[in-house]
Amino acid sequence: ELKVEQNPLFLSMQEGKNYTIYCNYSTTSDRLYWYRQDPGKSLESLFVLLSNGAVKQEGRLMASLDTKARLSTLHITAAVHDLSATYFCAPKKGNYGGSQGNLIFGKGTKLSVKP
C-alpha cells in the first residue's frame, strides 16, 4: 500500500528565506504531482514530475523527483507572503494497472510566510 509522508507539516518562514518541503513515499511510483491549496479553496496544480530526475521550476518554487529514493522535494527560494498556502504532494498509485491515475495525497505542508 502506498503511503505518503510530508514534512514538515507546518512551516513558518520569514520573507526572503529559503526552505525545502520533503515528500517521501513508500512504494514504487513513476510520477508525482504537487498541488497548492489556499484556505477554503480547491487544489491548484503546480508541478507534474514524470520521471526520475525530473526538475520543474515556476517562479520561486522548484520541484524535483528521485524515484529511486522515493523522494520529492519542493524548494522555496526567497519566500514572499503570496506563497502562504498548503502544499500537497501526490504520487501516482503504481506504474500501471486498473487504478491508473489514482493519486495518494500527503497530509500537506501549511506554509506561512511572515514579513
Partner 1 sequence: DGGITQSPKYLFRKEGQNVTLSCEQNLNHDAMYWYRQDPGQGLRLIYYSQIVNDFQKGDIAEGYSVSREKKESFPLTVTSAQKNPTAFYLCASTNQAGVYEQYFGPGTRLTVT
Residues of this chain that bind partner 1 (CB under 8 A): 4, 31, 33, 35, 41-45, 48, 50, 88, 90, 92, 98-103, 105-108, 110
Query: CA 88, CA 95: separation in Å to the nearest integer?
Result: 20
Nearer to partner 1, 108 or 113 (CB): 108
Query: CA 108, CA 6: separation in Å to the nearest integer?
Result: 6
Q: Would you say 75 and 61 are in contact if contact means Cβ atoms under 8 Å apart?
A: yes
| Closest approach of partner 1 to the CB of residue 74, in Å | 15
List Cβ neighbours of 31 (8 Å cut-off, separation of 6 or more): 48, 49, 50, 51, 65, 91, 92
Nearer to partner 1, 64 or 106 (CB): 106
Nearer to partner 1, 34 or 76 (CB): 34
| Closest approach of partner 1 to the CB of residue 114, in Å | 20
Tell me which DSSP letter residue 103 carries.
B
| Closest approach of partner 1 to the CB of residue 64, in Å | 17
| Closest approach of partner 1 to the CB of residue 103, in Å | 6
Nearer to partner 1, 37 or 77 (CB): 37
Query: CA 115, CA 83: separation in Å to the nearest integer?
Result: 12
